[in-house]
Amino acid sequence: MSEISVTSTQPITSGQSAAAALVAPGRAGARVVAFFRRLPRSLLRLWMLVLLLAVWELVARTSPTVFFPPFTVVVGQFGTDWFGGPDAHLFLSEKFWSAVPISLSRLARGWGLAVVLGVVIGFALGRSPLVRMMYNPIIRFWMSVPNAALLPIAIQFFGVSEAVNIFLICFGSMWLIAINTADGVSGVDPDWLRTARSLRIPRGALWTRIIVPAASPHILAGLRISVGFALILMIVAELYATTSGLGHDVALYQQTFKYRQMWSAFILIALLGIVINLVFDVVEKRLLRWQRRAGLASL
């Protein structure tokens, strides 16, 4: 009986080893998948950027031209232009402090005015069907007009001054805020409003506790989109209607054939846009944390 049991267990042992050999590659693939899942999503999203930068470097090296320097050369110029200052200036260069604060000041003033006007107009459009019917075509008309086309008109009215930059940034951004705010306000659930009226909730509490919180996702979406447009309009206005700022520096470098410095300024503008977007993303997550939790809970 013992011999029979020994011979009967031998095929089972070899079969198990063969199965383990077949499963081993599958386990290795699972480990690779698990490794990539553990990577931060931000790293996985950078592959397209890395590819584009590699193509930039390859094209610039294989077809050298003064108009399109390699990315590594531009990065070196970027460090020379905007960094290397004393520690008292946060290691930022004098050129940085002479251009970036001026541009950001124009952006803040123009966009801040657009936020005030856009939110007020949006609330008026969202709460009054009559106002929406009367003024919606006018707003749609101005939204369809390219904002950069208004620059010559603004120069005629304001001259080459700070007012041109602030006007262009404000006028081009506030319509996006107004439309998104109006959509959010008009989209508040009517049942909530009827319940609030039946409970005799004061008008102030109706706005602060029902209408504004319900419309806040649309309002913040409009603000986030508009700040990108405001940055673009800031550069456009500074290209032609000012003697300082990042846009003016880009135009000056192009006119004096300093293309490395021009590309360096492009990178700085892109980084400023990324930082502004990240800051706004943090603020939006903080203000709308209740909405995001509800969305994740429904999955």
What's the CA gap between 280 and 99, in Å, rounded?
A: 23
Is the domain of 60 the same as that of 97? no
Is the domain of 104 the same as that of 222? yes
Span 90-136, pLDDT tens digits: 888 888 999 999 999 999 999 999 999 999 999 999 888 888 888 88
For the chain, how far is it from start to end, CA to CA, in angstroms? 59
Question: Exposed/middle/buried for 274, CB within 10 Å: 0-12, 13-18, 19+?
Answer: exposed
Is the domain of 172 the same as that of 123? yes
What's the CA gap between 233 and 170, in Å, rounded?
A: 9
What's the CA gap between 170 and 78, in Å, rounded?
A: 30
Is the domain of 97 the same as that of 44? no
112 within a domain of the structure (yes/no):
yes
299 within a domain of the structure (yes/no):
no
Is the domain of 206 the same as that of 100? yes
pLDDT exceeds cutoff 60 at 285: yes
pLDDT exceeds cutoff 50 at 294: no
155 within a domain of the structure (yes/no):
yes
pLDDT exceeds cutoff 80 at 84: no
The overall average pLDDT reported for the chain is 82
194 within a domain of the structure (yes/no):
yes
Is the domain of 251 the same as that of 164? yes
Span 151-203, pLDDT tens digits: 888 888 888 888 899 999 999 999 999 999 999 998 888 888 888 888 888 88
224 within a domain of the structure (yes/no):
yes
Which is more confidently placed, 59 or 206?
59
Q: What is the pTM of this model?
A: 0.77
Of the chain, the percentage scoring pLDDT greater than 70 comes to: 82
pLDDT at 174: 92
Is the domain of 56 the same as that of 109? no
Q: C-alpha distances in angstroms, 4 versus 16, 187, 240?
A: 19, 80, 96
The answer to whether 122 and 185 are in contact (CB under 8 A) is yes
Is the domain of 56 the same as that of 158? no
State the CATH number of the domain containing residue 103. Answer: 1.10.3720.10
Is the domain of 120 the same as that of 255? yes
Is the domain of 56 the same as that of 172? no
79 within a domain of the structure (yes/no):
no
Ordered DSSP codes for 99-146:
HHHHHHHHHHHHHHHHHHHHHHHHHHHHH-HHHHHHHHHHHHHHHHS-
Is the domain of 46 the same as that of 192? no
Which of 224, 210, 230 is closest to 283 using CA atoms?
224
Which is more confidently placed, 295 or 91?
91
231 within a domain of the structure (yes/no):
yes
Mean pLDDT of 138-152: 85
| Residue 83: strand pairing partners | 92
**Overall domain count for the chain:** 2
Is the domain of 96 the same as that of 224? yes
pLDDT at 271: 93
Q: Give the structural domain span for 37.
A: 30-64
Res. 43 pLDDT band, cuts 50 70 90: low
205 within a domain of the structure (yes/no):
yes
